[in-house]
A and B are shown apart, each in its own frame.
Chain A
Amino acid sequence: METLVMPAINFAAIMPETILSIVAMVLLLLNVFVPGEQKAYLGYLSLVGIVLAFFSVVSGWNAPLSLQEGFNGSVLQDNFSLFFKAIFLISSGLAVLISDHYMVKEECNHGELYPLILFATSGMMLMSSGTDMMTIFLGLEVLSVSLYVLAGFKRADTKSNEAGLKYFLLGAFSTGFLLYGMALTYGATGTTKIAGIAAAAAQDSTLAGNPMFVVGMLLMATGFSFKVAAAPFHMWTPDVYEGAPTPMTAFMSAGPKAAGFAAFIRVLMVAMPVLAVDWHNLLWVLAVLTMTVGNIIALTQNNIKRMLAYSSIAHAGYCLVGFAAGNGEGTAGILFYMLSYAFMNIGAFAIIILVGKKGEPNNNVEDYAGFGVKHPVLAMIMALFLFSLAGIPPTAGFIGKFYLFSSALKAGYVWLVVIGVLNSAASCYYYLRVMVFMYMKDPVEEFDWMKLSPPVLLCIAISVVGVVVPGVVPSIILQLAQKAILL
C-alpha cells in the first residue's frame, strides 16, 4: 500500500483569512438570534474580527519564509500580500462602520451584511497571497460572489436589483475569460503555480513566442482588467456603483479594486517576465484609455455617486501608469496609492451617506448647495477628501500620484506621464464643482434630516487621519511599501 504523504500545511500563512471566516460563520449563526433593531451588535462583533485579523497581519510582517509559505506552495504570505491585506482590512472596517446608519435609514437592516463583507475580505486576502492560479481564482470567486449579493442587497429597490444583476452577469462573463487564460497558460507551461510558470518560461526560450502562452496572458489580463475596472472593460462600474447601497459602493471601490491589482501584479510580474515587452505595451494603452475615459465622462456627471464611480475608473488608470512602469517604485506607488485611495474615497462616501435622505433622492451635485454654511466642519472635511482625490498637496492623494508618475518617468514613459498629468488637471473640474456648490451657492435646504451617527463620524475621523498623515509625513508608509514590493 502506498503511503500518503501529506503536503506541508501551514496555517500561519492563512491566519487572517481563517480568523475572518470563523468570525463570519459565527456571525451567521448569531444573526438568527439577534432581533432586527439590534443588528448593529453584529457590526461591532465583525469589527472585533477585523481588528484581530489586522493584528495577525501586523505580526506576520517580515516573517521567515518557512512561516510565509503554506499549502504546498499555493499560498505565500509575503510582505507584498500583507500590505494589501492591511488595505483590505482597513476598507472593510471603514465600510462596516458606515453600514449600520445607512441600512437602518433604508429599512434594509439585514444581519447577513456583515458576514458577507467578511467573506469578501477573506476572498480578497486569498487573491493577494495566492501563488497558484487555483488559489487566485478561488479567492476571486469568494470575493465576487459575496459582492454580487452586497450590490443587490436592497432587495426591494429596483436600482439595487439592477446593480446586482448587472454585476453578476458581467462579473461571471469576465471570469470566463480569466479562466480560459489560466487554462491556456497551464497548457503552455504544464503547471498552475506562479513560480512554476516563471521557471518553465526561463528554461524554454521558445515559450515567449508560443501563441498559447501569449493568448493565455492576454485573456488573463482581460479578466483582471474587468475586476480593476480598466477601460474598455469598465462598462459595469458606473451602474453598479450607482445602484449598490452606498456603503457597499465605498467598499467596492477601495478593497476589491486593490485585490484585482494584487493578483494582476503578481501574475504579470512574477509569472510572466518573459512577456514583459508585450504586457508593458498593453498596460500603456490600458492606462491611457482608463484615465481618459474615466475623467472625461466624469466631467458630465451630475449624480455624485456616479461621478465618484467614473473617478474611481480614472484612479485605476493612475495605478496602471505605475504598473506599466514595471519597476519597484511603480509597485510601491500602487501600494501607497491604494491605501490612501481607500481612506479618501470611503471618507467621501461616508459624508454622502450622512447627507443622503431615505432612498437617496438628493445625490446630485446641486443638492450640496450651501452645505458649507449649514455644516461647516463636515463640508471642510468633504473638501479635504475631494482635494486629495484631485491630487492637491498636502494630501495623501498628491504624494501617491507623485510617486506613480515619477516611477513611470524613471522607466522612460514620458508621454504616459504627460497624459496622466493632463488628466489629473482635468479631474480638478468635477471635484471642485462640488466645492463650488458647497461654498458659493445659497442653501436651498436646511439639512435638518441629517443624523450624525457616531460610527459614521468615527469612520470620517479615521479617514481624515489616513489622508492627512501620509500626505504630511509620507516616508512612514512609503518605507513600508518599499519593503513590500515583489523581489
Chain B
Amino acid sequence: MLEKYLILSAILFSIGTLGVLIRRNAIVMFMCIELMLNAVNLTFIALSKHLGNIDGQVFVFFVMTVAAAEAAVGLALMIAFFKNRESIDVEDINMMKW
C-alpha cells in the first residue's frame, strides 16, 4: 500500500516541478510550488502511517504553517511587482541580465 502513496506523491511532485519550469505566470508557478509542498506532505503522512511514528505528521503541520507564511509574503511581492510593471509574467522579470 505504501508504494502507491509514494508513487502518487512522486508524480504530484514531478508535475509541480515541471509546472514551475514551464509556466510563465508567477502565480501559477507559485501554485505549482504549493503542489510540490503538498506532494511532500502526502509522502510524510504515508510514511508516518507506515512507520507508526508521529513525527511525520508533526512535520506536515509545520510545512503547512510555513506554506501559509510564504504565500502571504509571496503574494505581497507579486502585488508590489504588479504595481510597477502591470504584469506578473516572469518574462517581464528582465531588468537585470548579464
Contacts and interface: CB of A to CB of B under 8 A. Distances in A.
Contact of A161 (B6, B30, B84): B84
Contact of A164 (B51, B59, B77): B77
A169 B95 contact: no
A148 B37 CA distance: 18
Interface string A123-146: 000000000011001100100010
Interface string B55-67: 1101100110010
B33 A134 contact: no
B93 interface: yes
B42 to A, nearest CB: 9
A158 B84 CA distance: 6
A242 B96 CA distance: 8
Contacts of A182: 59
A243 B37 contact: no
Interface in B51-98: 51, 53, 55-56, 58-59, 62-63, 66, 69-70, 73-74, 76-78, 80-81, 84-85, 90, 93, 95-96, 98
Interface band, chain B: 35 or more
Interface string A167-200: 0110011011001101110110011100000000
A134 B20 contact: no
A297 B97 CA distance: 12
Contacts of A243: 95-96
B26 to A, nearest CB: 6
Interface stretch (A149-157, A245-253, A393-401, A478-486): A149-157
B23 to A, nearest CB: 11
B48 to A, nearest CB: 8
Interface string A192-225: 1000000000000000000000000000000000
Nearest to A240: B96
Contacts of A168: 70, 73-74, 77
Given A159-B96, A186-B55, A243-B95, A176 B80 contact: no
A162 interface: yes
Contacts of B69: 141, 145
B97 to A, nearest CB: 8
A176 B36 contact: yes
Interface residues of A, number: 43
Most buried by A among B37, B43, B66: B66
Contacts, number: 124
Contacts of B95: 158-159, 162, 243
B58 A134 contact: yes
A56 B43 CA distance: 39
Given A134-B58, A191-B53, A176 B33 contact: yes
Contacts of B30: 169, 172
A173 B33 contact: yes
A161 B50 CA distance: 44
A186 B41 CA distance: 12
B45 to A, nearest CB: 10
A306 B51 CA distance: 48
A243 to B, nearest CB: 6
Contacts of A161: 77, 80-81, 84-85
A172 B85 contact: no
Contacts of B59: 133-134, 137, 182-183, 186, 192
A106 interface: no
B15 interface: no
B44 A186 contact: yes
A138 B66 contact: yes
B55 A192 contact: yes
Nearest to A166: B93
B57 to A, nearest CB: 11
B34 to A, nearest CB: 9
Contacts of A159: 95-96
Contacts of B47: 183, 186-187
Contacts of B76: 149
Given A141-B69, A176-B33, 15 more contacts: A152-B80, A161-B85, A165-B93, A168-B70, A172-B33, A176-B36, A180-B40, A180-B43, A183-B56, A186-B55, A192-B55, A192-B56, A242-B96, A300-B98, A301-B98
19 contacts: A137-B63, A137-B66, A141-B70, A148-B73, A148-B74, A161-B80, A161-B81, A162-B95, A162-B96, A168-B74, A169-B74, A175-B37, A176-B37, A180-B40, A183-B40, A183-B44, A186-B47, A190-B51, A297-B98
Interface of B: 6, 13, 16-17, 20, 26, 29-30, 33, 36-37, 39-40, 43-44, 47, 50-51, 53, 55-56, 58-59, 62-63, 66, 69-70, 73-74, 76-78, 80-81, 84-85, 90, 93, 95-96, 98
